[in-house]
Amino acid sequence: MNQRWHSQLICFGRFMLGLVFLYASVGKILDPKGFAENLIAYRIFDSPQMLKYVAVTLPWIEWFCGILLVLGAFVRSVSSLTTVLLFVFLAGMVSALWRGLEIHCGCFGSQHETIGALSLLRDGFFFLVSLVVFLSPVDPYSLQGFLNNRRMRLVDSSS
Amino acid sequence: MKKTSWVGVGRALLVNAGIVLLSAWIGVSLNRAFVAGPQQSTFTYSKESGKFQPVKASEGQTTEVLEGVRLQDVRGIISSRSMVPVDGRSEAEYENGHLPGAYSLSVTNFDKRFPQFSAEHPKEGAYLIYCGSGQCGLSRQLAALLQKKGYHQLKLYSAGYNDWFLAGNPVEKGKGGSLK
């Protein structure tokens, strides 16, 4: 019972994280220039060319992570990537606050959300969820879990 | 056991590298014009509607831009030094990067900074006003403030610093002449 409850919780976390990544990617995919302008405000990139590559690539990384997490495919690999991404986002926001920058976070595309405690808490929460999903066994409700179980049943029945 | 975990790490790296490469390929393919540049200014100020509106490529030079200038015009202005660029953003943003030769006249510190500006810049001069982007609004505010003070030869580069930077144009950093 406890194990089942744990699996359901992990499944919920994975699904929620996937939806958040999908939602976050769409606005940026539709408006890469707006996202690039958000990135300029962070004052991290000196090269405009590098910034443009990041602005057009990152949203698609988020989209792929989102769709794979929702489906439950390559869960460990993808959740390791989302954990790293969320850590980088968190570090970027902390660094901006540290330098006294009052800028839009650009977390969900062109929405004008200024970086503050709420953005940090939200990103920190998703970072923890991602870390838990990465460290936990793959839940049986995911595509990967379903295929694993099926393979094990086939092995059991053949032996 | 140890061997299995290394296989897992290798597979994770492979999957993640695949995601990054595929994303880069799709992102760059779909935004070839944006990535390759040079960039066109995407906003211009329309006096008729009083709003910033996207520049339509087909309109080109025939667009009636009474106050606004676009990237290609700004390049000419900067190289010929025919106008003095005036930056309406905060001093911190100015120090991080600004148009070559720009003067920092932050809207938030306008009253404090204007006496120095007016001492160095005559009202008869021509000035190019800009801020961060077409959405920042500071350039419009600065233009209005300067007009009240009797400066009338003003042009608005509404797409601003972001547009200039993204197009790969040279930028200057630091305090420049205006903040020293």
B60: phi then psi, degrees, rounded to nearest 5: 50, -135
Read off the amino acid at residue A151.
Answer: R
**pTM > 0.80: yes or no:** no
Q: Which residues of chain A are within 8 Å of residue B37 when distances are taken between CB atoms? A: 52
CA distance B159 to A78: 37
Span A56-93, pLDDT tens digits? 999 999 999 999 999 999 999 999 999 999 999 999 99
A23 touches chain B (CB under 8 A): no
CB contact under 8 A, B12 and A77: yes
Domain residue spans of chain B: 2-36, 43-166
Which residues of chain B, if any, have pLDDT below 70? 1-4, 37-67, 135, 177, 180
Nearest to A37 among B23, B37, B162 (CB): B162
Q: Which pLDDT score is estimated for B19? A: 95
Q: Which pLDDT score is estimated for B105? A: 92
Q: Which pLDDT score is estimated for A34? A: 86
Span A87-130, pLDDT tens digits? 999 999 999 999 888 888 888 876 678 888 999 999 999 999 99
| Dihedral-angle region of residue B175 (phi above 0 means left; psi in -120 to 50 means alpha; beta otherwise) | alpha
Q: Which residues of chain B are within 8 Å of residue A82 when distances are taken between CB atoms? A: none
Which residue, among A67, A66, A69, A58, has the nearest Cα to A29 in the 3D structure? A58
Domain over B43-166 is classified CATH 3.40.250.10: yes
CA distance B98 to A127: 35
Q: Tell me if B104 sits within 8 A of B91, measured CB to CB.
A: yes
3-state helix, strand, coil in chain B (%, to 5): 45, 15, 40
Tokens of B103: 């003067």
